[in-house]
Structure 1
């Protein structure tokens, strides 16, 4: 692309960015939490707001669509906006989601999670990064290109990603013709660091489960029976401890490792980004990026046992834990779940009764080779940031990407994003770096322009 064309798009992005920021702030003010415990009218309002933004961006065909859930109730509202391709030009599907995570304990936030607040170069608020910034990246790029857009574009903004996309596959099949594309851009990932862009080429998969440990059929006095009878929380702790070896590596047979990444990260930076307390050693062996991206990880994300505040002097008969298992690229989620379940049953301490309740499964993602679309994305990222992009993996999971590949096997999938290591997506004080968001808008505009057929 000629340098003057790049400079023109850069200037137009800068000119329009104040409006992009203002519209992002308006979206953040809508508490569109898709968890059923929250008011779903806000999710409806968020879908309407996104539809209006896309219409104003010049996309002529905009619909709010949904498909039924398994129980027959309506799925969450998704926005699909379409601008057909000129003759001979490819179609690009731009994905993001407008629903957000619950805010959690508001006391953990420095400001109201649904009142966008600027501190330094970062805009704070629930959804400011994940993923309403992704929505505005698409809207902003369309505004920048306006009548110069020379490819077909379909924008698909989902409304239930944060609750596992329960109707996603059905939605893809129901609207397959409407969503068909040559290139798919998923704006729901992260960059390497502030100032260095990234193209995500691998994602870990997911399996979760709940394990129950039972030792008694009813609670008994801890003084009269304590000693020969160990309580369920103690035995649950002993069982959970078998999931890792003394180095902190996962010790479950049947979980695969993918190849170590080419790049690695600084330990001090990781400790700072994660908020690791002084003196706490990092777990595992090998490159940090391998431990984060291409090897399995198992975390305990919830425990059911008596609360300290209401504890009585009894031996607890039952305790439960929910496990989140992150899977390396190449791992079959069902096989991984079976392997973890077999390990837990085989290591039942003191003959305790162990029961497994299967949960969610999500496939990992590994980009297939170096496509022309990926080359175009790296060029666009490098031009926008002024520094080469990095191919990265992500330890988190976006299972629907594998669903996209199954329904649209010929499409090239590009996973990009607005987040950076300090965005704290899903946590308190979630934020987006506004300078990074502006660069993402420009990069997407450059990508769309570069995918147009040359005269």
Structure 2
């Protein structure tokens, strides 16, 4: 809601809430079937996969939105500044009554690669229900988000009192490379007073969450070189350390003895008001018996409001093909999550300076910059946030928790740059056991129905103006 909006939307009456609750329950069976149909489309946006499936997924989403009573539906793409053709996105628009706010509903229809088939209990692209959860790639991230928007539109039907634009992206899982170009090209189509991003998580099953902070992202590749070419490990081992050992020593400097990040120049934000139960976190992360958590302070702070550094890839000789030589070069890909309030470019400078200054035994250290993603911090008392808190409390029967997310959604900062007056609400369809991006991804069906109801109530309240 902008600063000139006419007042906080009035709460709906008990009768209206219960009527919408009943409509949501009646609509959920067909919505589940639509989610299953979307999961069956292997819309992996990674370029190594068949992109015809991404196009088919976009067309399927467009057809669903037309069936929900939206007549202005387009499948669009743009060419990025680097000449890259963007993936197909769906933009559907339905104007509201005169003077009503416009709400942009965001989700994405592309999915991560399935990974090793042996790690899945069932076919990743054949949805299967077990113990109240629907399993399949994209069942949670983020085709459930698409269904949440679809469900709210179906439930409200002609009672929709706001203007709505649905924006379903097709390249989120590869970093949204043409997202900013898309926003600028179609700015008039996407302009809104409130933006609802259905691509986050809830606190846990039974307790909703509103995401108020997201860490940003900096990644890079660091290479350590010590020899011009490999030499015999028996003849020269001792005075010459191999590159993987030197790389390991360098990586070890990124954390102190407690496991806290030790890179000067990386900032921390305030501690969250809630904390994670250690036993729950051990279960949710599958931490092995005997392994300890790293770092100090609240667990939620370590995950949401402090920097974190992970090695996500290594280039070194494979064990199966290793020879008895001293390896001349080795490299690692680092993923650095930065706290809300940190500038990504400054964080990259700090990481590079740390690595170069600590070259072990004088080895050559080369740092190659990668992706930069901005963090996000939402105001917690906006009119839209108040309406969302009410809607979530009605849907779940308990107040929502303000949560942070350790992962990054850099496009949210892009949305704010292009639409600075819009209020952004980051909502969730996942829970701690959804395993998004991993094998056996799933969505809790009971929670998804509550998500649909909460969005329905939110849109209904935003259209229920006090003046």
TM-score (norm 1): 0.99
Residue number among 14, 21, 43 corresponding to 1:3 in the alignment: 14
Structure 1 residue matching 2:106: 3-state secondary structure: strand
**Which residue matches 1:41?**
52
Once the two structures are superposed, the pairs formed by residues 40-79 of structure 1 within 5 Å of their partners are 40-79=51-90
Matches within 5 A, 1:121-160: 121-160=132-171
Q: Note the C-alpha offset of 1:419.
A: 0.2
| TM-fit CA distance, 1:69 | 2.5
Q: 1:86: how far off?
A: 1.1
Tell me how far apart the structure 2 counterparts of residues 74 and 42 of structure 1 sit (CA, whole Å).
16
Partner Cα separation in structure 1 for residue 249 and residue 85 of structure 2: 43
What are the residue-to-residue correspondences of 1:286-301 with 2, within 5 Å? 286-301=297-312
Look up the match of 2:5. Answer: none
CA contact (8 A) 2:81 2:181 kept: no
The 1-side partners of 2:286 and 2:149 are apart by: 31
What pairs with 1:94-109 in structure 2 (closer than 5 Å)? 94-109=105-120
Cα distance, 1:201–1:299 mapped onto 2, change above 3 Å: same
RMSD, matched Cα = 0.7
Counterpart check, 1:82 vs 2:93? yes
| Residue 379 of structure 1: aligned partner | 390
What SS does the corresponding residue of 1:422 show, helix, strand or coil? coil
Q: Secondary structure at the match of 1:162?
A: helix
| 1:433 counterpart residue number | 444
Could you tell me which residue of structure 2 aligns to residue 397 of structure 1? 408
Query: Is 1:307–2:318 an aligned residue pair?
Result: yes
The yes-or-no answer on 1:12 pairing with 2:9 is: no
Tell me how far 1:224 sits from its aligned partner: 0.9
Q: Within 1, Cα distance between the matches of 2:219 and 2:141?
A: 22
CA distance, structure 2, for counterparts of residue 142 and residue 372 of structure 1: 22
Measure how far apart 1:72 and its partner are. 2.1
Q: Could you tell me which residue of structure 1 aligns to residue 265 of structure 2?
A: 254
Q: Distance in 1 between matches of 2:82 and 2:421?
A: 32
What is the match of residue 91 of structure 1?
Answer: 102
Residue 8 (structure 2) aligns with = none
How much does 1:265 deviate? 1.1
2:362 matches 1:351: yes
The one of 441, 445, 453 equivalent to 2:456 is 445
* 1:378-414: CA deviation from partner (whole Å, max 9, x where unpaired): 1000000001111110000000000000100000000
Measure, in 1, the Cα distance between the counterparts of 2:386 and 2:141.
Answer: 25
- Residue of structure 2 equivalent to 1:419: 430
Does the 8 Å CA contact 2:434/2:441 hold for their aligned counterparts?
yes
Match of 1:363 in 2: 374
Which 5+ residue runs of structure 2 have no aligned equivalent?
A: 1-11
Matched residue SS, 1:72: coil
1:199 alignment counterpart:
210
Confirm whether residue 188 of structure 1 aligns to residue 199 of structure 2. Answer: yes
Partner of 1:167 in structure 2?
178
TM-score (ref. length: structure 2): 0.97
Measured after TM superposition, the shift of residue 369 of structure 1 is: 4.2
Q: CA deviation at 1:71?
A: 3.5
**What secondary structure, in the 3-state scheme, does the structure 2 residue paired with 1:202 have?**
strand
Q: What is the alpha-carbon distance in structure 1 between the residues aligned to residue 84 and residue 436 of structure 2?
A: 29
**Deviating 4+ runs (over 4 angstroms):** none
Unaligned runs of 5+ in 1: none
How is 1:307-346 mapped onto 2 (pairs within 5 angstroms)?
A: 307-346=318-357
Q: Distance in 2 between matches of 1:92 and 1:372?
A: 13
Deviation at 1:74, TM superposition (A): 1.9
